[in-house]
Structure 1
Amino acid sequence: MFKMNLILSSYSTDTDYLQKVFHKTLKKNVHFICYNKLGQKVSICDYWNDPHQRLSYLRNNIFLPLLNGERPHSDMKAWRENFLQIEKLVLIGGPDDGVITPWQSSHFGFYDSSENVVEMQKQEFYLNDAFGLKTLDQRGDLVTCVHSGVKHTTWHSNFTVFRNCMEKWLT
């Protein structure tokens, strides 16, 4: 018997397909759509983290800031305790995903307000160890796996990704 935890995180500010659907003007204003009660009933809005509307994101997004420990909540202690039970966290992503933007967010990285990518180890929730990510990393139980040439809808079926990122953790 084995225990494995595999998480493909999906934090996005914009995606290839959204760029095709939404004009740049709408992209600048999508926070008005997503950061309200109605918008929070739409799944993509739960993951919408607009680096230019940080306060509105933290105040109005009812999912992602709680998950990342960016906004305190009553279940944070239990969330952290449960997260720390993960034996091996394998984060998989790559620059050709086409949906997760920036692709480094699949490894808990994200944009700053100038849209420069800030790596996981420099994120506030990591530095504060808000939900245990830093602890997991420090104990050697956080693995990142980067693969180019893999589209978002093919991560689960790519044999190379399986061999290089997952198989060794299954034994």
Structure 2
Amino acid sequence: MRTLQGSTLLLLLLLLAAGCVHAYKPVIIVHGLFDGPKEFTNLTGFITKVHPETEVMTISQYDYKASVTTMWQQVKAFRNDIEKIMLKYPDGVHLLCFSQGGLICRGVLSTMPHHNVHTFIALSSPLAGQYGETSYLKRIFPDSVKKEVHVICYNKVGQIMSICNYWNDPHYRSSYLRKNNFLPVLNGENPPSKMSAWRENFLRIKKLVLIGGPDDGVITPWQSSHFGFYNSTEDVVEMRNQKFYKDDLFGLKTLDSRGNISVCIHSGVKHTEWHSNFTVFRSCMEEWLT
């Protein structure tokens, strides 16, 4: 009898101890255009400060100047690295993807069957495209204004540059749909034969967190970070009125109907400050990285 009671007590203690230990899921960070792992030192510190012992990995594929490589090439390379990491963590991982990296992560999630990504955080990403004269644009096309970029981007030569793969000129919609080989394909607006499978892959995530704000200064319109975008008169059409949402082309409406989308808006944050702003981390990211 004493032996049975002792065994029961030991079992209860072990169960209680197990309940007190919370293992946070690993976080994989994907960088944006013209940056790399070193830019995410602060963000890594924020995560490990509030969630001690969390493994945080920033992938160094196509960083800095190499980040202008075609998006599909980057998606393939990042997918290979992310898949290797996921195999080590069968209980799941989180993806935290900044700027252009948010679109790379969308490509990874859509084309990777059986992934185990729990939360996908898109941090100031041009998710519905980019159309604006910014410092980043001038680094690639120093002599062009936004009204001229479609001439460069919407052809085979232009499509070898990453920014052209999500350049979305609202005044040349038909050219965008026909000649942009990345974003319209990813959105299901010019769907590949595997679109149904891609949609199911994307819907494997449990949470989509969209972060952006009006003072970003790079993502244009800034509402693109929340899947909003310009119409032909350059008025912003919000996410739920976009065709890809209403027709649920890649699963966004389904995620929303499940209550699995969180939208976070912060003013006063410039584009290069999102990943080093502790307030943004605490209010927009922390609760989803468990």
2:203 aligned with 1:84, yes or no?
yes
Structure 1 unaligned segments of length 5 or more: list them: none
Structure 2 match to 1:68: 187
Q: Stretches of 4+ moved more than 3 A in 1?
A: 18-23
Determine if the alignment matches structure 1 residue 12 to structure 2 residue 127.
no
CA contact (8 A) 1:35 1:56 kept: yes
Residue 122 of structure 1: aligned partner: 241
**Aligned partners of 2:131 and 2:222: how far apart in 1?**
10
Task: Go from structure 1 to structure 2 and tell me whether the alpha carbon gap of 1:95 and 1:49 turns closer, same or farther (over 3 Å shift).
Answer: same
Range 64-73 or range 105-114, more displaced: 64-73
Structure 1, residues 29-79: CA drift from partner, whole Å, max 9, x if none? 211100000000011111100000000000000001011111111121121
What's the secondary structure of 2:245's corresponding residue? helix
Per the alignment, in what secondary structure is the counterpart of residue 150 of structure 1? coil
User: Is 1:42 aligned to residue 161 of structure 2?
Assistant: yes
Give the fraction of aligned pairs with identical amino acids, expressed as a percent: 67
Number of aligned residue pairs: 169
Q: TM-score, normalised by structure 2?
A: 0.56
Calculate the TM-score normalised by the size of structure 1: 0.93
Question: Which residue is 1:140 aligned to?
Answer: 259
| Residue aligned with 2:152, SS | helix
* Residue 149 of structure 1: aligned partner: 268
Q: Say whether the 8 Å CA contact 1:15–1:98 is kept in structure 2.
A: no
Task: State the alpha-carbon separation in 2 of the partners of residues 99 and 105 from structure 1.
Answer: 11
Is the contact made by 1:84 and 1:136 (CA closer than 8 Å) also made in structure 2? Answer: yes
Over the residues paired in the alignment, what is the CA RMSD in angstroms? 1.6
- Give the corresponding residue for 2:283: 164
Aligned to 1:113: 232
Higher relative contact order (CA 8 A, sep 6+): 1
| Offset at residue 22 of structure 1 (A) | 4.6
Aligned counterparts of 1:81 and 1:160: Cα–Cα separation in 2: 34
- Report the 3-state secondary structure (helix = DSSP H, G, I; strand = E; otherwise coil) of the residue aligned with 2:220: coil
Are the equivalent residues in 1 in contact too, given 2:132–2:220 (CA < 8 A)? yes
Aligned-pair CA distance for 1:157: 1.6
Once the 2 structures are TM-superposed, how far is the Cα of residue 19 of structure 1 from its aligned partner? 6.8
1:55 aligns with 2:170: no
**Which has the higher Rg, Structure 1 or Structure 2?**
2
